[in-house]
Amino acid sequence: MSPTNRIYHYCKLDTAIESILPLNELLLNNFNKTNDPREYKSFLFAEKYWKKEHLLDSDMEIANQKISEILRSDCKFISFSQDFKDFFGYEYARMWSYYGANHKGICLEIDKNEFISENSGKIDPLLFRKIQYKEFKINKPYKTIFVDHTKLFKLGEAYLKNDFRKRYFKELFFIKDIEWASEHEFRLLFYSKKFHEKEYCSIKKSLKKIFFGVDFNMNYLPSVKNICPNIDLYSLKYEGLRLNPYKI
């Protein structure tokens, strides 16, 4: 399958009918909402050009923790899936398990270009991209990231956010261990000026289809139809090893 303009967002039924679909919005989440602890625990940095008095803390582990907190202090994100090879983005078992309430939830198909257009104020093209998956080995680090503690001492947070983060944004936010590769994630990263407030991205124009998990309770179908009268709805059924959609 060639690259497509489709991206997908899995969610629970109650989240969909209580907030996402009535408001046509997706919540920008903090990184402590991810399932991967590596995404919200401390980054591991190497030290470069430092004197002891320049460190945020004499204990390098604590210093790394403080740096990690600063780097994430204004970060929000939304995760999507994308089509991969011969598979459509609504077919991923892991996504249904983690985010789609074990097939009792739904999967939204979104037009990526229209999503960009209606959220232009929140999308930097560099920060809306697919995740790369790497095999991390204890004895062979993927890449060494150096923090210049002398610059950090002189410039403070500005060095971390305006220099260091711009240089290493892919390593910090867009690379995950290969064990997560089956999610085929496409991520929006957003640097927020209102971190402690809820912020959203619109899907009013970009939402195109809704897929119901194989164990979706069809008693809720009228509610979804009422909320989304102009959106194509599909039930999913396993046929062999594949999930096939049937228009409702």
Percent of the residues in the chain that have a pLDDT greater than 90, as a whole number = 69
Q: Is the pLDDT of residue 45 over 60?
A: no
Listed by start position, the domains of the chain span 6-247
Q: Which of 98, 142, 127 is nearest to 9 (CA)?
A: 98
Angle CA(159)–CA(152)–CA(139) in degrees, nearest 5? Answer: 100
The yes-or-no verdict on residue 94 having pLDDT over 70 is yes
Q: Looking at 34-38, 79-83, 88-92, 114-118, which range is the least confident one?
A: 34-38
Do the Cβ atoms of 104 and 217 come closer than 8 Å? yes
Q: What is the pLDDT of residue 54?
A: 47
Q: How confident is the model at residue 3 (pLDDT cuts 50, 70, 90)?
A: low
The mean pLDDT of 64-92, rounded to a whole number, is 93
Angle, vertex CA 188, rays to CA 185 and CA 191, nearest 5: 145
99-124 mean pLDDT: 97
On the question of pLDDT at 187 being above 50, the answer is: yes
Single-letter amino acid code for the residue at 189: L
Q: Does the pLDDT of residue 84 top 50, yes or no?
A: yes
d(CA 161, CA 100): 34
pLDDT-based confidence at 211, cuts 50/70/90?
very high
Give the pLDDT confidence of 200-209 residue by residue, as tens digits. Answer: 999 999 999 9
Greater confidence, 46 or 233?
233
pTM of the model: 0.89
Please, what is the average pLDDT of the chain?
88
pLDDT band at residue 191, thresholds of 50, 70 and 90?
Answer: very high
> Model confidence at 49, in pLDDT bands (50, 70, 90)?
very low
